[in-house]
Amino acid sequence: MKYDAQITELKNLLPSAKNILIAVPAGADIDKLAAALSLFLTLEVSGKQVSIVCDDNILVAQSHLFGIDHVGKTLPSGNGGNLTLTLEGVAASDGTVPALEKLDWYAEAGHLNLVFHVLPGQTFQPAKIIPHYQGSGFNLVFTVGAVNLNALGNIYTQNQQVFSGIHIVNIDNQANNSSFGQTSVLDTQASSLSEMMANLISDLGYSLDADSGSNLLIGVFDATNNLLNPKVTADTYMAVAQCLQVGGRKPTSTGQNQIQENTPQNVIAQAQPTYDWNAVSAAIGQKSAPSVAPAVSQDQPSPEERPAEEGVVSETVEPDWLTPKIFKGSSLG
């Protein structure tokens, strides 16, 4: 298990955690969203109540990820936790409330009444009363791809109390991560967060399904330029193989589909990226597929078949090339 040493405490907390928050940084790319959504789908299938948030608008290029419609821009309200009533405009800069002597409460006819005792000659008039739940009832918070909490944007700055006093799981592959959180799963050698998530989900004792596997394949391929990035290793191919085994689908892009509709097949063969699927098979212990020589398109003649005006010149001089030629005909015009 690749990350087992980093998640010892998390494995003890996760079984009893019923309400979980997954936070993605603002400006998240496809890899970060794919990894976070795969974790979301996995935990949800296991029976957890899970919320996923990102302080950003979802782009069209990200709309094909499974579960993308569950990503919110704000924390869910009324999710449990301590209710806090914020009264604006009544506190001084030093944190005191000069007009307030004390605060009482009493229940009456099924209602709760709060009594603010005001000092004589003082005015106590809040500009606004804002209710919110402190902690929102979350048992665990996962951050995926955030170098620090501020990278979460308004998700953090407007809800700092949610992240205070709660176990934070920090998952990232960036070298400048500040190692915040009680659990930090950091792997700067990983080619993508999606590769990390494939291993982490397994290490936590969960199984991928076709939807989460498809998300991770999209994330891996996008982050590694279709497996051509130098950071791709055997672990990357193992993660790809794992996703394929559970029914995950290899990503296709709108651009590639358009190429196939409007471009001759011989050009498509040159334009589309190639994947080393033999390496994937080898990673899971299967026999590598035999290599197949590229087929020559019927629309593209071989050099021997091309007419001379296309500029194809034979490298071997014909024996009678320099012999004088005599042309005969039935009539001389």
pLDDT in tens, 186-210: 999 999 999 999 999 999 999 999 9
* Residue 263 pLDDT: 42
Burial 237-258 (b: 16+ CB within 10 A, else e): bbbbbbbbeeebeebeeeeeee
Which tens digits make up the pLDDT trace of 268-295? Answer: 444 444 555 565 566 555 444 444 444 4
**pLDDT band of 110, cuts 50, 70, 90:** confident
In 46-159, which ranges are continuous DSSP H helix?
Answer: 154-157
Q: Containing H/E element for 9?
A: helix 8-13
**Full-model pTM:** 0.65
CATH 3.90.1640.10 boundaries in the chain: 4-79+135-194
Of 81-85, 93-97, 265-269, 323-327, which range is least confident?
265-269
Q: pLDDT (tens digit, 9 = 90+) per residue, 213-233?
A: 999 999 999 999 999 999 999
CA dist 143 and 180 (Å) reads 10
Looking at residue 120, its pLDDT comes to 93
State the CATH architecture for 4-79+135-194.
Alpha-Beta Complex (3.90)
